[in-house]
Amino acid sequence: MIKVLISILFAVNIFSLLLADGPYDFWLIYESDGLRNGPYYSGATLYYPINAPEPFASIVIVPGYGMVEASIQDWGPFFASWGIIAMTIGTNNPYDFPEERAEALLDAIETIKQENDRINSPIYEKVDLNSFAVSGWSMGGGGAQLAAVMEPTLKAVIALCPWLDNWVLEPDDLNHSVPTLIFSGQYDVNAPPYLHANIHYNYTPSTTDKLLFEVENGDHYVANGPDGGSGYVGDRAHEWINNYLLGDNSNCELLLEVPPTASQYLTNIECDSVIQGDLNGDGVIDILDLIVLVNMILDDEYSTIADLNEDGVVNILDIIIYKNIILRN
């Protein structure tokens, strides 16, 4: 279900809105609205959720070589509709290399932090300053990997058909501990998987959670938006963000399922067994979980573990389901 304010149709590409399938409304701001124009990037759009639980985690997305911000704009509404601040940016020069794109991503994070302090910003004091992720397409994906090396406090990387110079790339260049999701296209001629995405996966340390999803029959553009791979690109990106940026691993097992549109699917992650509804993690659903649930509702918090009817909110309907489960037990 598309949940966006109708007037936003005049502000962003309508097709992008069709991909905003999360439960939350969102809005957006530009530099003309007071958004900082950082020295290491040029042009930006910040998408922010309106009715999602606060504070908001954030992700920044940068395009590839020779491309503009609009080439990756579909990701903005998608992430915002799932309750995450998403900032799409352009580069100072369309032909910037991955190193400059890494600096652009980190500079954009600084902009989001400053928005948290800007009194007139709609996200004033609403940003989770400890939860940032980076993403990028092509050389931007390579930049996202390099940004993780430069800033180890990042929570997640999503590399979209990433490109780095494979002739000089060494394992130490990707030596970081930030959980990394890599998408690639089986028939990508710009960044062939065996020269790029596969190397990204292999060079990312085995001690770092990582996943490689090669889309069957996919090209270099297959991960420009969440609809790639019959929608499984967006599905896996959403679950990766849930698991690592938001710290909600209730659906971690979905990351282990091989999508039907995958020609290659590799991962080293392990999922802890999570019982839906077990809010205190003691292995059973009882009155203690119900107490936690009531407090969550009073504090306007959300967790997929508590959302038993999967309607995107935690409310009295979930309390009724909890009550019935407890009575049955």
Question: How do residues 87-110 score in pLDDT, each as one tens digit?
Answer: 999 999 999 999 999 999 999 999
In a domain, 247, yes or no: yes
Beta strands 26-30 and 56-62, pairing class: unpaired
- Residue 88 sits in a domain of what CATH number? 3.40.50.1820
Task: Verify that 207 and 255 share a domain, yes or no.
Answer: yes
% pLDDT > 70, the chain: 93
248 and 302 within one domain: no
- What is the pLDDT, as a whole number, of residue 140? 98
Are both 199 and 230 inside the same structural domain? yes
Beta carbons of 30 and 36 less than 8 angstroms apart? no
Structure tokens at 148: 């993780």
Domain extent, residue 50, equals: 6-267
Residue 272 falls within a domain, yes or no? no
Over range 251-271, report the average pLDDT. 94
282 domain residue, yes or no: no
> pLDDT tens across 185-242, in order?
999 999 999 999 999 999 999 999 999 999 999 999 999 999 999 999 999 999 999 9
* Residue 279 resides in a domain: no
Q: How confident is the model at residue 9 (pLDDT cuts 50, 70, 90)?
A: very low
Rounded to the nearest integer, the mean pLDDT of the chain is 90
> Are residue 249 and residue 302 in the same domain, yes or no?
no
Strand ranges (E), 118-168: 127-137, 156-160
Specify if 280 maps to a domain: no
Spatial separation of the C-alpha atoms in residues 223 and 196, rounded to whole Å: 15
Q: Are residues 207 and 293 in the same domain?
A: no
Indicate whether 38 and 90 sit together in one domain: yes
Residues 301 and 229 in one domain: no
Which residue in the block uniquely carries the two structure tokens 């501990």?
177
Specify the DSSP element, H or E, that contains 15: helix 14-18
242 and 291 co-located in one domain: no
Q: How many Å apart are CA 193 and CA 219, to the nearest integer?
A: 10
Nearest-10 crossing angle of helices 139-150, 98-117: 60
How many structural domains comprise the chain? Answer: 2
User: Which pTM was predicted?
Assistant: 0.81
Tokens, residue 17: 């809105």
Q: Is residue 277 part of a domain?
A: no
Both tokens assigned to 217:
């029959």
Of 41, 34, 147, 53, nearest to 96 by C-alpha is 41
Q: Is residue 222 part of a domain?
A: yes
Q: Could you tell me if 182 and 140 lie in one domain?
A: yes
Give the strand order in the sheet containing 44-49. Answer: 26-30, 44-49, 85-89, 56-62, 127-137, 156-160, 180-185, 210-215, 262-267
In this structure, is residue 34 part of a structural domain?
yes
Contact 104, 87 (CB under 8 A): no
CA dihedral sign of residues 231, 88, 28, 245: positive
Q: Say how many C-beta atoms besides its own lie within 10 A of residue 313's C-beta.
A: 17
C-beta separation of 211 from 263 below 8 A = no
Do both 51 and 104 map to the same domain?
yes
Q: Could you tell me if 168 and 31 lie in one domain?
A: yes
pLDDT score of 149 more than 80: yes
* Residue among 154, 159, 152 nearest 132 (CA): 154
Q: Are 48 and 35 in contact (CB under 8 A)?
A: no
Pair 132, 62 in one domain: yes
Per-residue pLDDT tens digits for 39-89: 999 999 999 999 999 999 999 999 999 999 999 999 999 999 999 999 999
Residue 131 has pLDDT above 70, yes or no: yes
